[in-house]
Amino acid sequence: MASKPKLTYLNMRGFAEPIRYLLAYANIEYEDRRINPVDFPQEKLSLPYGQVPVLEINGKMINQSNAITRFVASLCGLTGSDDFEAFQIHAMADTIMDLRNFFGDSFWRPIEQDEEHVQARKEEHLRNDIIPFYLSRFEKTVKENNGYFVNGKLSYADVMFAALELHFSNCLEEDITSSYPVLKELVEKVNTIPRIKEWIDNRPITEF
């Protein structure tokens, strides 16, 4: 890259953490720009679509977390060895994003006081239905693919899940992989990759 990339997101792990994991894995030096959430209403006026994350490269600001994740994954060879393998990896990553979006709907959408009962029902549905539905299938997929989501080797889908797992667990205040040993092992494998581990050990400490 001609210039050092700049990743802009809120001051939290959140939905940008898979991108940070991949940048660490690829050993790409970048500026990790973090916005205080209270400043975001003003800050978003300078962003292309008023959204984060945004990755700025060579003066061009690109938004959309999926697009950024796939771009960085392509730089470090984690998007598959052929078109069909890439297709499988993208499909798996999109399914992980579906789960992420359920968390976003349950925990991050602003609600009015008289809608608290709706929020409580969403969280209950997430715990009792959504999490078991997805994680049981993820567990089966990883087990059938020798410890990874696709074809028995590391892809950005594995990195994405590992990066988001702590976020999911913090939201629910419990280890979501406690009943899924194969997924738990996958997260541990990703988190102990040397460059990713170095990022984890030194990243800013935030609640989410």
pLDDT band at 108 (very low <50, low <70, confident <90, very high): low
From residue 180, how far is each of 74, 152, 183 by CA, in Å?
29, 18, 6
Over residues 67-88, mean pLDDT: 97
CATH of the domain at 42: 3.40.30.10
Contact (Cβ atoms closer than 8 angstroms) between residue 187 and residue 160: no
Residue with tokens 């994954």: 73
CB atoms within 10 A of CB 79: 20
What letter would DSSP give residue 128?
I
Query: Of 183, 85, 83, 192, which Cα lies nearest the Cα of 140?
Result: 183
- Domain range for 105 is 83-192
Residues 96 and 161 in one domain: yes
pLDDT band at 111 (very low <50, low <70, confident <90, very high): very low
pLDDT per residue as tens digits for the range 181-203: 999 999 999 999 999 999 999 99
Residues 61 and 103 in one domain: no
E-only strand ranges, the chain = 6-10, 31-35, 54-57, 60-63
